[in-house]
Every structure is written in structure tokens, then in C-alpha cells.
A and B are shown apart, each in its own frame.
Chain A
């Protein structure tokens, strides 16, 4: 039996034809957007929810909230990864090792060695930014960098966006540990927990884009040897700036009417913190890709 396969008048689009990877930015936007929606929903309805559900289920709800970024990532990144032609093989490993590093090294180093809670909140604004950069920021970003560097880089970096994918993976591991520490160890109110989960997620994703960009550049370009260190410093600085600014926005000034937190400010800042790096990151990655292709076509032309 002869089969007839009609020939297309126009060939399939080259991009679709040759892009066998999961689209990272779309996953991040989906995960971030859904997380913000869930958190906003919880924030607005926390009063009803607290009244509705029995007290004994509250810890379950908090744990569920803590795991939400991980679940979203598993659905929209890891599961989606399995359905593309060229899946990224080390995502789970990076996420798990990132979580272990956070729990075994990162949190003890920050809380017990640097004792940041004992001196940083009481410092001046500039001191806090510098302090958080060189303690919390550098610890977290260095750990995340080490995990990606020694688990996925360079073998599993096939395209530039692998840097973002693995960066997000390690951040998800880190975020999950931070969320569990916050929500399981302290009786955080549900609406506050929702806000904190978004904030932590936003900071980690923002810095993961920077670390991923640095690793990708080192892998695919041949940047100045200081470039990676610079990206590490930038990621640490973002953490160092984001923590006090978010806290400052959330914390109201003293007045004789009282001092009440402003959670919406925190939400807004977290959303901005999530959106800007994605846009900037996608632009930078696109630019780098374009530069690489131009360089390649120049090379081909010269041949």
C-alpha cells in the first residue's frame, strides 16, 4: 500500500524543527505567575481559611504552601522537561543537592556562624545591604554556584538557557528548604507565609538567572575571567539589597496609631523582583545568543 504524504508548500519553521529543549522562560513565568496567584489568593482569604479548616490541619496547609514552588517547578519544568526531545538530565539532582546544601551548609552558616539576626537588622541601611551581601548573599549564591558548577557544568550545558534551567533548579531546592524552615519551625500566619514564600522565591529566582547567565557565558563564550566572579557578586548583591528593601517596605514607620506591617508592599516588591530579572535575563540571553550566532556566521562567511 502506498502512502501519500503531501509535501508542504512551505517547509516547517526551522526553529520548531531544531529546538528540542524545554522553553525555560515560559516555565518560569508560569510557575511564578501561578505562585503569585496562589499566594495572593491565600493572602486575601486567609481569614476565611483559618476559620474554615480545623486547627490541626493548619500545619499541613503551611507545609503544602512551603512545597508549592517545588510542586509547580516539578509540573512546569521537570515534567515538561520529560516531554521534550532533549531533556536536561541533571535537574532533579541539582535541585536535591541544592536543598541539601542549603540545609546542611547554608542555613547553619547564616544563622549560627554569621548570626545575622543578632546584628544585621539593627545596622544602618547601607551596613545592612553590605552585610547581607557578604553574608547571606554570598553564602547562598556561592552554594548554588558550587552545586551547578559541580553537578551540571559543563557537561550538561548544551545551550545557554541550560544555565537558567539549572540555576532555577538549584534555587527551587534552596527555596524549599528556606520555606520549610520558616513555615514548619515558626507558627507563621497563613497570609504572612504566603507573602514570605513569594518573596523568597522571587529573590532566589532572580539570583539564579544571574548565576545561570554567568555559567552559560563562561561555558559558551569566552568572557573575561572576572566575569563569573562578577556575576556571583551581582547575585549576592541582589540578595543583599532585596532583603532589607523588602523588609523596609513591609515594615511601617512608628506613629501614635501603632505600627502595622504593609504586606502589599512586600507583595509588590516580590512581583517586581521576579519580573525584572526575567525580562533582563531573557534580553541578555537573547543578546548573547545573537552575538554568538553573528560571530558564527561571520566565521562561516570568512571560511
Chain B
């Protein structure tokens, strides 16, 4: 009986313990080598002065570097014009300047930039095809979980400090609009210094999950840590009167890697999108303002608050702070400070970061799926160091029974009284109706519905409640001449307290239940935009083309309406821009041009137009074979093979010896000295050290990968071998000592 029990227990264990493939250990050395120090410099009379610094991470072998935008883009805070890249050449030592770089892709709001190594320090062009730099792969940051261990890698000081790895855990996620599939910020418990901004945070598989990000505030606004390191005023001494480098304070937030993917994709494919009449993203000069702070326990699919609350019961796991903003720009630095019972709460605070929401509108920052401990919370938002009024919320106790209005959904009533639109984007018409739910209402209670168009009140309907305690009700706005296209807002007040609010967009003509804003969307190719407007639609481009034009007509969309233009290749987004509409209400041939310095890579290209997350138009075209070429250097993981080749007579390194690793498909006997059969190549340095340009892929039970190698040098006996396999058990990096013998 005992043995039966034992067998049963063992069987149970075999059932509940999943058999997982062995994961490679975190290859911290490879990550550290892929972490670069980025210096923005200013050239003053042929002297280079450092203006801003940050960490960065190589994300491709040909020299694409993911880092922060604020320290690389020329601005008032960072006035430098050139970017110098220093590599972590030797572990434990300061980085060494090796290359110059240029900005390949940038999103100032997300504070992410993709730099491309272009030149040697002396100005010579770098042949990027010959670059074989260590790089890291991006993780799916949406798969990260609270309490997951992460390792943050970056440079903790200015220039002297070697690259450093800091371990921590994920403590939470901050959610913002327009990133519905993943968090806008990953919060961490790790203590990260300001110069590590732009570096990388890695999961246990060594994949990049986030970019530590903070934007140092300008000197004088706050007590910023700003260090002078060079004699910029040429007075012979380095003092506080010299230009300093702002290094910021602590970092507790990571930009998820998923937000960087479109930039990386566009940069690696060399794709640039030029859009007709995009608004400028620079600051208007007016003081940024933050107002109308309120809380909601959840948001709907359009990013609108479901209701408005002033307290939450114990055990709540979701909370959103909404606010209106104006005069903001990507250069605006905003910050959220949260206190719980008067004590600073780092978990829910957000260190100073760049603003990503455009110039004005409704915004939120919140969290979901994360427990909020009981207490009295105070939320204070700062824009460029100026605090907005603090908003207070109490969490704790049982759910309170108060009058509640929630879940506003809009519809345009047609002549038959049927609702049109998707709830938040409505076609043009005479009557817009809002349906909402209510609970715990009492007949006789005063309530008011206020409608706004583009920020101006257009209707106010004070009333006395007569619909009963719980149910669904509606209110509407009418205009016999037709409602004007634009951005509308409804606020519902109960006894003068805001109970619910939501925005919607009215645009386009009626076509079925959805508005038709964008029409006649098409792809074409031409030499100029004018020529493109005259060209017919093309859906298949058999040959590679230098430019791809996307054109469409539009109707009844008010200037200022936020809309989204999205480009995809093979189903993956590489460009997404949310911006206010700047063209007239109706027109033809809005043009977006996709181009590449070389020719566009083969692939299936899509352009999508959206308003309030509603897909309104989409077109597709195939270029070449309709599929992106396979990047055989895309994998970053594997075993790095390096070592030293020595003369067995002298025991000294032999410079200039080639180590050829033959692809898994061929053996030494098959190798006919053809580059196409070479998996990786290395040539020894002056001390005989070599390092293969690509990591060796792991051999598994499912897929055995056996390489062959040839080491041949004039005067020495060649060494060759077949069946070279590495597994997750193999030491990484794999260091080889190879003695070559003479005859």
C-alpha cells in the first residue's frame, strides 16, 4: 500500500512539475559588452565638450543603439550636435570612445531613440556590413510579471565608472493611454542612478525588457545633480561656472521594450516615414498646465474613465488618476509623487520623465492588477517642476454605498432612432446620445449633464433625478443644423460632484454604423508627391522601389482631432504617430511617403488610420516577394566563442590568423572556401586573441546544430574539426586556447 502511495505521489509530481527546456543562463558579460556609453558633444573651435551623457544598448550587430531621446536629441538642455559612442571594451574598465553615431529613429515623447553607428572617431565612414558588435534581443515586455527578477545594466557615473549591473524586482506597472497592449512604465525596486538612463533592464533569459528612463530637469528648476567635468569656459579651471552635465536623480521606471520595437524595426530596415502636414512637436512656449485631476477605478477600451471616485474599498487592485493637460510638449518633464499617509511611496510614484501625450487633452496614469494598500493617498503631478493641485484619495474599509454614474457610451441617433458609431467615434448627424449606468440614485436628487465641444461648453441640462435607484439612462445633445465635427466631452454631475465623464469624437460621414472619415486610400509609387496624386492605385510592386506613397481622401474631420497613422510591415508596426488633425475638414490626397536610403525591403506593407483606437481605414501592398528578407544575424543569444591562438613553438599569440566556423549544413570536407558556407569568422589581434562575430546557436534534442571549424595559417598545420556543438550547459563565453604547430 505504501509503495502504491509512493508511486501515486511520484506520478502526481510528474504531472504537476512541467518538463521545461533548459533555459540559457543570463549572459551578463554579453549584455555588458552590448551596453554602451553615449556622449552628446558640442564642437567648439575643434574642441569637443560633453553636453549630455546616457547609457545605451546595442540591439543589432551592425550598430543600432537603443537609448533615451532626451540625452541625444539636440535641445536647450542638451545642445550638443554630435554623438560619441564608447564601448565597454574590457570588463571592469572605463568605456572607450570608438565610434560616432547619428539618430536613426526617435520618439521624443516616449523618450526613446535609435542611434546608428556611422563613423569612426576620426570621421571616416564605418562599413556597417563589417560591424559585428555584441547585441541583445528585445523581450516581450508584456509578458513580465510583478516580483520578476530583472537586472539593470548601465553606466553609473560619468565616464570613469565601468558598466555596472544592478539587480532588482518588478514592483508594478504604470498604465497610460495609447499603449493598450502593455504598460507604459515598468516600476522596479532596483536603485538605478541617473546616468544609467538609456541602458537596459533584462529578464533572466538576458532579453531586454525595459529601458531605465528619467529626464533630468533643467538646472535651476529643481535641485538637479549637475556636474561640470570640462573647462568649457576656458578659464583654466573646472568650476561650477563651467557647463555641467545633468545626470538626474534616481530612476524607478523602465520604458517597456515593446514600445521601442517599432523604432528598432524601422531603424533596422532603414525605413523613414514622411507625413504631409504633421504638427510640430516642439514646445509652444506657454507654461504647461495640469488640471481637473480625478480618479477612476478602471478605463474602457477608448481610454475613458468608467466612473469618478473619491475613495476605494480595501483590496482594490486598480486605480487611475485622470487629468487634463495643455501646452505640453515632448520636452516637458512630468513627474508624479505619491504619498501614503504622508510618507513618499516610491512604488506608485514616477520619477521625472518626458511627456508623451501631445500638446493637450485628457490623460491618465494608473495601475491594474496591483494591490493598493490601505491608506490616505496624495497624488501630486509636476510639469517642468511646477506642481498641480494635489488630489487625495482614501483606500480602505468596505465598499461605500454612494450615488454612482458610470460606463458612458455614445451613439449618434439616425432618423429611425438607431445608434450609430462605435461608442466613442460618431459620424456627423443632428443628435448625439450618451447612455450610462447608474446605481444608488435617489429620485429627487439634482444632477446635471454638461456637454463640451473642443473645450467649450455647448450645452448644460440641470435636472432632478427621476429614473429610480439602479439602471440605465441616457442624455443627448442636438443641433438641428447638424452637430459640428470635433472632440466632445460629457460631464455628469450629481449634487454638483463629478460622477462620470467621457470624451468622444464626431467626424466623417455616415456609412453604416461607422463613420467614414478616410476614403480612397491607396498605395502608389512616383517620383514626386504631385505625380503620386495623379497615379493610380497599385497593390503589388514586383520590383523593389525606393519610395512608397500612401494617399487617402478625408471628410468632416475637425482640425485638432487626434488621429493615428500606423505603418506595418509583415504585420508588425514600425511607425505610429498620434497627432492632432491639421488639415482642412475635408480634402483629397493626404500623402504619407515611406522611403529608404537604399530600396525598400521586400514585404507586405499596411497603412492604417485610426481615431480613438477605432480602425477606420486600412490598405495593403506587396513589394517584391511580399515578405521581409530573413535576417540571419537576428539572434543574439547563444555561446560566444572566443580565445587565443598561439604558436606552439613560442607560446606567443599569432596575429592575423583566421578562425572560420562553417555553417551547420556543411562539414569540413564540404567546405570549398566559399563565404556562403561560413557561419562566422574571426581574425586574431596582435596578441592572438579572437572572438567570433556571431554566437553559436544552442543544440537541442529537437534541433541538433553541429558546426565545423577550420583554423589555417601559412606556415602552420591547419586544424579542422566537425561536430562542434554547444548546449545550454556549455560555458558561456566559451574560451579556447589553440596552439598551432609548425611542421
Contact = CB atoms under 8 A, between A and B. Distances in A.
A188 B647 CA distance: 9
B647 to A, nearest CB: 8
Interface stretch (A160-168, A245-253, A294-302): A245-253
A121 B650 contact: no
B659 to A, nearest CB: 11
Given A187-B652, A254-B721, A117 B715 contact: yes
Contacts of B651: 189, 192
B739 A187 contact: no
Contacts of B227: none
Interface string B629-651: 00000000000000100001111
B741 A247 contact: yes
Contact of A258 (B724, B730, B738, B743): B738
Contacts of B712: 122
B380 interface: no
Interface string A174-197: 000000001000111100110010
Contacts, number: 80
A5 interface: no
A154 interface: no
Given A251-B717, A253-B721, A258 B736 contact: yes
A260 interface: yes
Contacts of B648: 192, 250-251, 261
Contacts of A71: none
Nearest to B736: A258
B730 A256 contact: yes
Given A120-B743, A189-B650, A189-B651, A251 B719 contact: yes
Contact of A259 (B649, B652, B714, B736): B736
A260 B649 CA distance: 12
Contacts of B643: 258
What class of interface size applies to chain B in its complex with A? 20 to 34
Interface in B707-737: 709, 711-712, 714-721, 724, 726, 730, 734, 736-737
A94 B43 CA distance: 75
Given A189-B649, A251-B719, A117 B714 contact: yes
A222 interface: no
A260 B739 contact: yes
A243 interface: yes
Nearest to A121: B717
Contact of B716 (A116, A121, A189, A256): A121
Contacts of B720: 254
B421 to A, nearest CB: 65
Contacts of A155: none
A84 to B, nearest CB: 39
B742 interface: yes
Contacts of B719: 251, 253-254, 259
A188 B649 contact: yes
Nearest to A258: B737
B715 A196 contact: no
Contacts of A87: none
Given A250-B648, A253-B721, A256-B724, A261 B715 contact: no
A243 B741 CA distance: 12
Contact of A192 (B649, B738, B743): B649
A192 B647 CA distance: 11
A192 B742 CA distance: 11
A251 to B, nearest CB: 5
A244 B734 contact: no
Nearest to A115: B714
A224 interface: no
A51 interface: no
Contacts of B652: 187
A192 B741 CA distance: 11
Given A189-B649, A192-B648, A256-B730, A122 B718 contact: yes
A2 interface: no
B673 to A, nearest CB: 11
A261 B736 contact: no
Contacts of A244: 743
Q: Can you list the 5 inter-chain pairs with the closest CB atoms, starting with the nearest? A: A254-B721, A117-B715, A258-B737, A261-B648, A259-B738
29 contacts: A117-B743, A118-B714, A118-B715, A121-B714, A121-B718, A122-B712, A186-B649, A187-B652, A188-B650, A189-B649, A189-B650, A189-B651, A192-B648, A192-B649, A193-B649, A243-B743, A244-B743, A250-B648, A251-B717, A251-B739, A253-B719, A253-B721, A254-B709, A254-B711, A254-B724, A256-B730, A258-B737, A259-B736, A261-B739
Interface of A: 116-118, 120-122, 128, 132, 182, 186-189, 192-193, 196, 243-244, 247-248, 250-256, 258-261
